[in-house]
């Protein structure tokens, strides 16, 4: 599989941290670790103080998995934690076949089109706001 370079990611890698004012974020302003810990109860503070920054179970950290299951009032959903990019990649590899017709919103994060193209799909761009 040959995936074209993600130009937006390269641009961010070179420029994002250096910008005085960053007006292109698609996320909210982040909190510092200190700000997050100021909101924590004692149980959470103890977890943070004893957190080991190492690999965890392949399915994800057991405490996070349990919180996800609790959120959906389910005992076992077969949950697997992934970051958004991994989720897009794994979903497309599972669902798409060469020659499939894929409609991708545009503009969008480049992986939405590039991964489908690399699989051999026909892409149609749906221009948002046009």
Mean pLDDT by 10 residues, the chain (130 residues): 81 78 70 92 91 78 82 73 81 95 89 92 89
Give the per-residue pLDDT at 40. Answer: 93
Token pair of 88 as six digits = 């897009």
DSSP assignment of 17-36 equals TT-SS----SSPPPPPHHHH
Tell whether pTM > 0.75. Answer: no
Give the per-residue pLDDT at 130. Answer: 65
Q: Where are the domains of the chain?
A: 1-24+82-130
Q: Tell me the C-alpha distance between 75 and 67, whole Å.
A: 11
> Which one-letter DSSP state was computed for residue 54?
S
Instruction: Residue 63: count other Cβ atoms within 10 Å of its Cβ.
Output: 11
């Amino acid at each position: 599989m040959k995936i074209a370079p993600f130009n937006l990611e390269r641009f961010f890698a070179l420029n994002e941290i250096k910008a005085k004012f960053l007006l292109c974020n698609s996320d909210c302003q982040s909190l510092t670790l200190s700000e997050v810990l100021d909101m924590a109860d004692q149980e959470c503070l103890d977890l943070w103080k004893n957190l080991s920054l190492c690999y965890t179970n392949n399915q994800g950290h057991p405490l996070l998995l349990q919180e996800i299951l609790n959120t959906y009032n389910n005992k076992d959903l077969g949950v697997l934690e992934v970051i958004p990019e991994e989720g897009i990649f794994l979903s497309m590899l599972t669902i798409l076949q060469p020659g499939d017709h894929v409609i991708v919103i545009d503009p969008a994060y480049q992986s939405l089109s590039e991964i489908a193209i690399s699989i051999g799909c026909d892409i149609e761009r749906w221009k948002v706001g046009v």
